[in-house]
Chain A
Amino acid sequence: MTRRTLIIATVAVLAIVAVAAVSLYFFGPQHRQLQTAAQPQITGKAQVGQPAPSFVVATTAGLFDLSKTTKPVFLEVFATWCPHCQHEAPIIDRVYRKYRGSVDFAAVSGSDTAMDGTSASSELDVLNWARRFNVQYPVAYDPLLNVANLYLQGGFPTIAIIGRDKKIAYLNSGEIPYGDLTTAIEKMLR
């Protein structure tokens, strides 16, 4: 095989990969899941140091009304299809087991797409997600994405820690290590 043939073959393979990637993204069987995953997420108005926007959600542990809580609050905005949220779930569970007595927890769904990445989100989808990933902390389905529109910071999961003074002490998104979360909580509890 000549060098010229190899170059042509390589360019052809790269062109096929590029065309296949674009085609699969727009028309492939998993195109909706991919398009959802590739989207930059909403950025809400919540900011560290600012008063936490009020919200009420029905969690698996009962009604959660931010304005009526007396403890600090650990809030997660997640999507059931989001792999980072799935990775983060056991970490938040560990945090929940450690601080459930001194901090109120609420995880609220923030996407209109379900776990399979194609169908619409629903309460059942959120409950199935919690069961599948053995989530122990309270979760809530938010059909209007009100909490996401207030708190989401460009990506799932977004985690907010709110002090007793109802000000946001910590706000970040992505896979946040256990140590970072406990440090933020300890700092706020001091």
Chain B
Amino acid sequence: MAISVLIVRVFLGGLLLVAGAMKIGHPAELAASIAGFRLLPAAVVGPLALALPYVEVLLGAYLVVGLFTRTVAAVAAFQFLCYGGAVASAVLRHIPANCGCFGPNDTAVADWPHVAFDLALAAASGFIVWWAPGAFAVDRRMQSA
């Protein structure tokens, strides 16, 4: 099981690292994408667009190395559920919102497969929460130290 958790951790962490890194330096594009969902006020959208990429990179790095694994995986699960909820609401309201998941060059429009993908990622994060920390985790070393 420890190896399975490691694999899921590295996959999810890598995904968050890539997604966050691709958004860094493009806050206006990300703000326009988030605003396109018409769920949050502008005063929240702007700072969120600036901070989110760095938070994703941080979460991704912690998941990969297995630091604070359970907490970080729980935060990631919550984040994926929020993404899924936002995309589902856009689909239900017939808003062709651009998810901007992987930066400004990601022009995919919100649809049900996106929702399913986000829910699958949330489930994978839940798996890590349950079985944390898995193999080769910094948490494990800190427990034994």
Contacts and interface: CB of A to CB of B under 8 A. Distances in A.
A40 B32 CA distance: 9
A29 B97 CA distance: 27
Is the interface on chain B under 10, 10 to 19, 20 to 34, or 35 or more residues? Answer: 35 or more
A182 to B, nearest CB: 15
Interface residues of A, number: 39
Given A22-B47, A174-B36, A175-B109, A34 B27 contact: yes
Contacts, number: 107
Given A21-B50, A22-B47, A30 B27 contact: yes
A155 B109 CA distance: 14
Contact of B104 (A13, A20, A83): A83
Interface stretch (B7-15, B51-59, B80-88, B118-126): B51-59
Given A17-B55, A173-B95, 18 more contacts: A10-B58, A17-B54, A24-B47, A35-B42, A37-B29, A38-B31, A38-B42, A39-B42, A82-B32, A117-B28, A155-B38, A172-B94, A174-B36, A174-B95, A174-B96, A175-B96, A175-B107, A176-B109
Nearest to B48: A21
Interface in A32-60: 33-41
B95 to A, nearest CB: 6
Interface in B1-46: 27-29, 31-36, 38, 41-43, 45-46
A48 to B, nearest CB: 10
B29 A38 contact: no
Contacts of B49: 34, 37-38
Contacts of B55: 14, 17
